Amino acid sequence: MRLPRARRATAGIGAIVIVVLATMLLAGCGAAARASSRPVSASDANRKPWYGLTVLRDHIAFTGAPTAAGPPITASSGILVDIDTGQILWQHEPHRRLAPASTIKLLTSMVVLENFAPTRLITATPEALFAGTDETTMHIDPGEKLTVQELMTGLLMVSANDAANVLATETVGMEKFVAAMNAQAQAVGLQDTHATSPVGLDDDNMYSSAYDLAVLATLDYTHWQLFRDIVDTQQTVLPASALHSEFELTNVDQLLQLYPAAVGIKTGYTGNAGNCLVGLAVRDGHRLLSVLMNEPDYIFATSRTLLDWGFTQEGLPTQYPTPTPKPTPAPSPSLAAATPAAHT
């Protein structure tokens, strides 16, 4: 029986796929390649069926002019919404296009959950494991077989880029998967989102907005129980089997520890994006969702402050003061070893 491996943040920014010859065909993703940065055209986005994949067609609109100034927030962009009423409680440049970092995995998740059964087994080939040493990963080995549910657990809990790359490369291929992400964004009416990879590494053509991320998070959370279960899990172990070794996973979303009402959802960080966080909290039947992008301060505390303020606007008492959690010992060096350039 194989012993659990030490998990550490790994990966690297692969080379941009080169467009060659007059046909402008994109080279396939290899061990050193990452997702195509070719913007998907309108005709591509309208292709039916999309490379054999389907897209979720739903529409969510958040409305209302906030009447209160809200707490002081230093993020470049943000929004706070009641996802049950669609009411905007606070906003700051919610449609500003910014680098989303790993919050783009909310769109990755939508493509996966809409198209692939949780029990489907996927083999991680060397061609899919091209993440470099400054990215966060599960540390999947070539040849290991994981289910879609297991890969989604790594993708959402530890923001595992290797899990995202395996899900894309070993299903329909990286180019088609990323193009399907953009088709999905259009299908739900997003105006300020474009993906160039399933992981969110910095790229001039990779962007989203606080408003769009709020829509994606709401759709993921309301449509799929599996998504809800994963983002609300603080720690889990994927036991070793004949198919793969053991994976010990600790959720990088510290909001789950800081705020009793929190139930997720997704963190993100790159050098260009700064700190990003999509947070959801539930109290007495009220579900509030906050999105902060490029927050220079401790983003989990800022999100807690914003969410708690929102609940007071809906007539609920504050949950302050809440204790600051003791640092959670990481089961492996994976999180603690992340460098400032790490993508989480």
- How many C-alpha atoms does 58 have within 13 Å on its Cβ side? 12
**Percent of the chain clearing pLDDT 90 (strictly above):** 75
Give the C-alpha distances (Å, rounded to integers) separating 259 from 268, 270, 292.
18, 24, 16
Active-site residue (options: 36, 102, 197, 334): 102
The verdict on pTM exceeding 0.85 is no
For residue 52, name the pLDDT band (cuts at 50, 70, 90).
confident
CA dist 136 and 267 (Å) reads 12
| pLDDT single digits (tens) 59-80 | 999 998 888 899 999 999 999 9
CA dist 100 and 110 (Å) reads 16
Which residue ranges form the domains of the chain, and what is each CATH number?
19-313 (3.40.710.10)
CA dist 141 and 170 (Å) reads 14
Say yes or no to pLDDT of 103 above 80: yes
Active-site residue (options: 36, 76, 105, 290): 105
Comparing CA positions, the residue from 200, 254, 223 lying closest to residue 55 is 223
Say yes or no to pLDDT of 42 above 50: no
Say yes or no to pLDDT of 43 above 90: no
Mean pLDDT throughout 299-319? 96
| pLDDT single digits (tens) 4-29 | 444 433 333 333 333 333 333 333 33
Mean pLDDT throughout 279-299? 97
Active-site residue (options: 159, 197, 208, 209): 159
What is the overall mean pLDDT for the chain? Answer: 85
Mean pLDDT throughout 42-65? 80
> Which position has the higher pLDDT, 23 or 81?
81
| pLDDT single digits (tens) 237-275 | 999 999 999 999 999 999 999 999 999 999 999 999 999
266 is catalytic: no
Out of 53-62, 98-107, 285-294, 325-334, which region has the weakest mean confidence (pLDDT)? 325-334
CA dist 41 and 154 (Å) reads 31
CA dist 215 and 82 (Å) reads 11
Give the C-alpha distances (Å, rounded to integers) separating 256 from 18, 103, 123, 233, 293.
41, 16, 31, 8, 18
**Burial of 318 per CB tally in 10 Å (0-12, 13-18, 19+):** exposed
77 is catalytic: no
109 is catalytic: no
- Report pLDDT for 68: 85
- Report pLDDT for 23: 34
**Burial of 179 per CB tally in 10 Å (0-12, 13-18, 19+):** buried
- Report pLDDT for 11: 37
